[in-house]
């Protein structure tokens, strides 16, 4: 029976909980506020006992009773809080928990009755024997309240701490995974850019210096803004434009490339380098060596959402799958799943010699 009752109580504080901790509980159960809460509780308990005893006993008797009662209640409650609940209840040893706390309760009740008798303190009811069931009931009832309050308070405290630590760990894991995915982008882009720059330098092209200047600006963005959690739409657009310019510098034939932007100032903040993989994929796999090849991309920004789209021509039967593996679309999918869970829509279509990507990001209010 006791394990079943304990199981019902434990299920109320099931770990991991099914819902996040309310913000007000996180504030209340912070270390500083918790001590303040304990102080307020004991002052309230002390005041209540003073008021109750002052109605039936003279001052010289009830003040001793108040001191003894408060001290024994405090000893019982904190023994339960710091020892019995962590040692037995949280270890799922419910039977031992109830036996141990009942023995501890009985011990303090007898101590209280003995002190009342030894110190010659008056009784609330003159016709009731000191060692009687009625007197023990009157003494035991406040201890039962302390038992309930300290047990529920400790369980709630442990629940809040556990959820906070799990949330902190989850955020740390999320940040580590995002950093790892970002780190994959930088070497991948740098490898391709240096290959292009090497070709221009080897051919002694006049475009080598402008290419190097564009590349340095992009690397600066990747090292600084790329490590930030959020960037402005304007910063991301400038980065995309630099990438397009860098690609055009190396092309002997100038295919049709258009970049349309529709956004109000300043617009929402977004994670950096979310779109670059799609753009790089279009330039890498599109038939841009053909003068008839083309790339069209655009951004439409609104406070509630950001829409990105890109289309490029491909040769008949051509696919855009990166057979080297590396970053590719899987990297983008993972980042989107982490950053915009249930708040993004990614569509990739290849038909009629056209490769299309459309990405919609829903902004949080």
* Token pair for 327: 């970053």
Cβ(265)–Cβ(227) under 8 Å? no
Is there a cis peptide before residue 266, judged by omega within 30 degrees of 0? Answer: yes
Give the rounded distance of the alpha carbon of 32 from its chain centre: 22
pTM for the predicted model, two decimal places: 0.51
**Count of residues making up the chain:** 365
pLDDT tens-place string over residues 167-210? 665 666 566 565 655 555 556 566 767 777 777 777 666 767 77
Cβ(286)–Cβ(312) under 8 Å? yes
pLDDT tens-place string over residues 67-112? 777 888 888 888 988 888 888 888 888 889 999 989 988 888 888 7
| Ordered structural domains, the chain, with CATH | 2-169 (no CATH), 205-362 (3.30.565.10)
Phi-psi region of 269 (alpha: psi -120 to 50; beta: other; left: phi over 0): beta
Q: What are phi and psi of 339, to 5 degrees?
A: -90, -35
Q: What is the pLDDT of residue 345?
A: 94
Q: What is the pLDDT of residue 178?
A: 57
Is beta strand 294-302 parallel, antiparallel or unpaired with respect to 269-270? Answer: unpaired
Which residues, at least 6 apart from 30, have a Cβ–Cβ distance to it below 8 Å? Answer: none
* Token pair for 143: 């201890």
């Amino acid at each position: 029976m006791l394990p079943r009752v304990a199981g019902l109580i434990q299920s109320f504080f099931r770990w991991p909980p099914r819902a996040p901790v309310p913000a007000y509980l996180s504030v209340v159960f912070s270390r500083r506020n918790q001590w303040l809460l304990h102080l307020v509780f004991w002052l309230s308990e002390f005041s209540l006992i003073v008021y109750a005893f002052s109605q039936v006993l003279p001052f010289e008797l009830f003040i001793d009773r108040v001191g003894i009662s408060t001290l024994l209640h405090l000893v019982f409650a904190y023994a339960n809080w710091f020892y019995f609940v962590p040692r037995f209840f949280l270890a799922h040893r419910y039977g031992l928990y109830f036996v141990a706390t009942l023995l501890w309760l009985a011990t303090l009740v007898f101590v209280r009755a003995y002190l009342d008798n030894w110190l010659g303190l008056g009784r609330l009811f003159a016709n009731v024997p000191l060692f009687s069931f009625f007197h023990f009931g009157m003494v035991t009832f406040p201890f039962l309240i302390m038992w309930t309050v300290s047990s529920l308070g400790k369980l709630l405290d442990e629940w809040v701490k556990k959820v906070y630590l799990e949330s902190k760990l989850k955020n740390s894991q999320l940040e580590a995974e995002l950093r790892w995915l970002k780190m994959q982008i930088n070497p991948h882009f740098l490898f391709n850019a240096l290959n292009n720059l090497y070709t221009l330098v080897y051919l002694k092209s006049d475009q080598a210096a402008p290419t190097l200047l564009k590349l340095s600006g992009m690397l600066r963005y990747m090292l600084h803004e790329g490590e930030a959690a959020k960037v402005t739409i304007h910063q991301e657009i400038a980065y995309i434009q630099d990438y397009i310019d860098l690609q055009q510098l190396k092309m002997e034939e100038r295919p049709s490339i258009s970049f349309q932007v529709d956004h109000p100032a300043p617009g929402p903040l977004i994670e950096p380098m979310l779109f670059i993989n799609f753009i790089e994929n279009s330039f890498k796999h599109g038939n841009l060596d053909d003068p008839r090849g083309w790339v069209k991309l655009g951004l439409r920004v609104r406070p509630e959402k950001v829409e990105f789209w890109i289309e490029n021509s491909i040769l008949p039967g051509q696919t855009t799958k990166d057979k080297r593996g590396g970053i590719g679309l899987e990297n983008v999918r993972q980042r989107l799943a982490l950053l915009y869970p249930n708040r993004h829509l990614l569509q990739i279509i290849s038909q009629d010699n056209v490769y299309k990507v459309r990405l919609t990001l829903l902004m949080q209010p």
